[in-house]
Amino acid sequence: MYATSYHRASSVGEAVNLRASHDEGRYVSGGMTLIATMKQRLAAPSDLIDLRHIADLRGISVEGRSVRIGAATPHADVAGSAALRTVCPALCHLAGLIGDPHVRNMGTIGGSVANNDPAADYPSAVLALNATVVTDRREIAADDFFLGMFDTALEEAEMITAFRFEAPEKAGYAKFPNPASRYAITGVFVAKTAGGARVAVTGAGSSGVFRVPEMEAALLSSWAPESVANVSVDPAQLMSDLHATAEYRANLVRVMAKRAVQASL
């Protein structure tokens, strides 16, 4: 890892100010991706602004069907939240599949979504749940947030503080992990929301997480595994790598979508 300077922020305001005053700085939350990337010398932030000690950023609240998850809430807390489980167990299930128990104790939902790794699990949930991304300065709709691989609508120094969404009527997540990294080769989150059916795919798209309108339309008319089982996705928009060809991923999108719907029932 290259040399860096560490700053521990105790409030959102302090963190944003610290970040704004260090052009080459980065926020670090759980650090499960960032520190690993820095170790490989693939990232070299001059300064790290630690968000883990900002109490306001942690925690899950459920009021009726309205859910708010603080950005610095670790995956383990999301996976284990009894309140969340009553309204959206699919999200608990997804969080319990990220990394491993130790990674889940440190890694946070905000860090994962801000990083927008094309193989990360959370972006699919945020997009499928039509969540609102709350930042230190504004609110961003999920559909406007994810711009491409590792690219989001976040501005320089902008920090995610929370996610808000209305619990869906039904939701499910199915993931096919990479045999080596255990990241998603393909993960599909399906949600039956007030605004209609939403299907979001992670791990497969060559520009990151994406929705599948054909599947959504099919699910709108009938929320059943068979509805998506034969909806094909064009391999041309999918990634191809050592572990999975685009054709294989296209197949997995179908299969995982079917299983996600099955899991939602």
Partner 1 sequence: MGTVFEETRAPSMGQEEDNMAKVTLTVNGRTMSGECDDRTLLVHFIREKLGLTGTHVGCDTTQCGACVVHMDGRSVKSCSILAVQASGSTVTTIEGIAAQGELHPVQAAFNQHHGLQCGFCTPGMVMTAVDMIGRHGGALDEATVRHELEGNICRCTGYHNIVKAVLAANEEMHGAARQAAE
Partner 2 sequence: MGMEGIGARVARKEDKRFLTGKGRYTDDMVVAGMKFAYFVRSPHAHAKITGIDAAAAKAMPGVIDVLDGRQLQADGIGNLICGWMIHSKDGSPMKMGAWRPLAVDTVRYVGDAVAIVVADSAAEARDAAEAVIVDYDELPAVTTSLAALGDGAPQIHPEAPGNLIFDWQIGDALAADKAIAEAAHVTEIEILNNRLSPNPMEPRATLGIYDSAEDHFTCYTTSQNPHVARLVMSAFYNVAPENKLRVIAPDVGGGFGSKIYIYPEEIVCLWASKKTGVPVKWTSDRTEAFLTDAHGRDHVSKVKMAFDKDHRITALKVDTIANLGAYMSLFSSAVPTYLYATLLSGQYAIPAIHANVRTVYTNTVPVDAYRGAGRPEATYLLERTMETAARELGLSPAELRRKNFIRSFPYQTPVIMTYDAGDYEASLNAAMQAADWDGFAARRAEAERRGKKRGIGMSCYIEACGIAPSQAVGSLGAGVGLWESAEVRVNAVGTIEVLTGSHSHGQGHETTFAQLVADRLGVPISSVNIVHGDTDKVQMGMGTYGSRSGAVGMSAIVKALDKVEMKAKKIAAHLMEADESDIVIENGELKVAGTDKVLPWFQVALAAYTAHNLPAGMEPGLKESAFYDPSNFTFPAGCYIAEVEIDPETGKTEIVQFVAADDFGNIINPLIVEGQVHGGLAQGIGQALLEEVRYDEATGQILTASYMDYAMPRADDLPSFTLSHQNTPCPGNPLGIKGCGEAGAIGSPPALINAITDAIGIKYLTMPATPLKVWTALQGAAMPMAAE
- Does position 141 bind partner 2 by CB under 8 A? no
- Does position 51 bind partner 2 by CB under 8 A? no
Q: Fill in the amino acid letter for 162.
A: A
Distance CA 123, CA 112 (A): 8
Asked if residues 163 and 132 have their Cβ atoms less than 8 Å apart, the reply is: yes
Distance CA 215, CA 136 (A): 34
Tell me, residue by residue from 52 to 81, as one string, x for binding to partner 2 by CB under 8 A and - for no binding: ------------------------------
Q: What angle do CA 183, 71, 114 make, to 5 degrees?
A: 50
Q: Smallest distance, Å, CB 44 to partner 2?
A: 11
- Does position 103 bind partner 1 by CB under 8 A? yes
- Does position 180 bind partner 2 by CB under 8 A? yes
- Does position 111 bind partner 1 by CB under 8 A? no
Q: Fill in the amino acid letter for 173.
A: Y
Contacts of 106 (CB under 8 A, 6+ apart): 30, 31, 32, 74
- Does position 76 bind partner 1 by CB under 8 A? yes
Match 């949930």 to its residue by tokens.
125
**Binding span for partner 2 by CB under 8 A among 11-19, 69-77, 157-165, 245-253:** 245-253
How many CB atoms lie under 10 A from the CB of residue 116? Answer: 23
- Does position 242 bind partner 2 by CB under 8 A? yes
Interface residues with partner 2 (CB under 8 A)?
1-3, 40-41, 176, 178-181, 242-245, 248, 251-252, 255
Interface residues with partner 1 (CB under 8 A)?
1-6, 8, 28, 31-32, 35-36, 38-40, 48, 50, 52-53, 55, 76, 99-103, 105-106, 181-182
